[in-house]
């Protein structure tokens, strides 16, 4: 057990207790007392998990999460006293993988950490290390777990990345909402009953040129979704030239 965990919390006493407990459990632990320091440590280290407080000065947990998601799909567990349904939903929608309210039982925290790390390490059945679509407009590097859209790296949550890879590996097939819901390892624990539709909407916003008229992830009315490998927009551009 050598996973690297970053704890971002402005409560020094809690930070110390969590660091000591996780270190004794075999994790390599780094700490930051604010979001800015947390982002710096994330950029400088290869992390496996982030434990993130919400109510912090200067940069709160919401903004910190958004900045992390712009550059990394590292799993994030919110650990916060800001513990109501609205906060939980907001945390998950911003890209969190789980949300634990303070005060918490240490067993609950450890269980969440273990489960989240296991989900993030589930190997995908991909055959090629790099998947390239629409002449390079969309590239999935499965080795580095990176997604490039028109040459620019796009930040994704682990759930979004896994969903995109699941769809891409089954290009051309119509996949029902139920099929996707059952097949994506962590989607049931990170989202609610509308998780698939919401996650598809989020994913389109990151990879589609015009999310309102998607080209890669198309909707098949009454059936589900289909991943189009060459992108509908590529065909339209060619027809205009002809």
* Whether 147 contacts 164, CB under 8 Å: yes
pLDDT of residue 240: 32
**Which pLDDT score is estimated for 185?**
54
SS3 content of the chain, % helix, strand, coil (to 5): 45, 20, 40
Query: Torsion angle of alpha carbons 173, 174, 180, 181, nearest 10°?
Result: -170
Helix-helix angle 195-207:158-168, to 10 degrees: 80
Q: Are 56 and 8 in contact (CB under 8 A)?
A: yes
Considering the segment(s) 4-120 as one domain, its CATH architecture is: 3-Layer(aba) Sandwich (3.40)
pLDDT at 222: 84
Alpha-carbon distance 26 to 242, whole Å?
62
Is domain 130-241 given the CATH code 1.10.10.10 in the classification?
yes
pLDDT at 20: 94
Nearest to 47 by CA among 25, 26, 27, 65: 27
pTM of the model: 0.60
User: Which residue ranges does the chain devote to CATH 3.40.50.2300?
Assistant: 4-120
What pLDDT does 50 receive?
Answer: 96
Under the phi-then-psi rule, with left for phi > 0, alpha for psi from -120 to 50, and beta for the rest, what region is 219? beta
Structural contact between residues 59 and 82, judged by C-beta atoms closer than 8 angstroms: no
Residue 128: the pLDDT is 63
What pLDDT score was predicted for residue 194?
60
At residue 27, the pLDDT reads 94
- Tell me whether residue 107 is exposed, middle or buried, using C-beta atoms within 10 angstroms of its C-beta: 0 to 12, 13 to 18, 19 or more: exposed
For the chain, 242 residues long, the average pLDDT of each consecutive 10-residue run is 90 93 94 94 89 93 89 88 88 87 91 85 60 89 84 83 89 86 59 68 92 92 89 44 34
The predicted structure's pLDDT at residue 125: 52
* Residue limits of CATH 1.10.10.10 in the chain: 130-241
């Amino acid at each position: 057990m050598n996973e690297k965990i970053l704890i971002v919390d402005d409560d020094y006493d809690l930070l110390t207790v969590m660091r000591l407990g996780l270190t004794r459990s075999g994790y390599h632990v780094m700490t930051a007392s604010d979001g800015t320091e947390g982002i710096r440590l994330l950029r400088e280290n290869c992390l496996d998990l982030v434990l993130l407080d919400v109510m912090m000065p200067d940069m709160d947990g919401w903004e910190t999460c958004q900045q992390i998601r712009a550059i990394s799909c590292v799993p994030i567990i919110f650990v916060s006293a800001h513990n109501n349904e609205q906060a939980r939903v907001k945390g998950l929608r911003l890209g969190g993988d789980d949300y634990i309210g303070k005060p918490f039982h240490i067993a609950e925290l450890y269980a969440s950490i273990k489960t989240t790390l296991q989900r993030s390490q589930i190997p995908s059945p991909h055959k090629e290390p790099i998947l390239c679509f629409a002449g390079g407009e969309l590239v999935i590097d499965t080795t580095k777990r990176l997604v490039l859209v028109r040459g620019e790296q796009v930040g994704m949550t682990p759930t979004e990345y896994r969903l995109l890879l699941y769809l891409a590996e089954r290009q051309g097939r119509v996949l029902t909402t139920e099929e996707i819901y059952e097949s994506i390892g962590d989607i049931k624990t990170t989202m609610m009953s509308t998780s698939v539709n919401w996650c598809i909407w989020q994913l389109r916003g990151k990879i589609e040129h015009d999310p309102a008229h998607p080209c890669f992830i198309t909707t098949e009315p009454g059936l589900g979704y289909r991943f189009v490998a060459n992108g509908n927009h590529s065909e339209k551009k060619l027809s205009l030239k002809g």
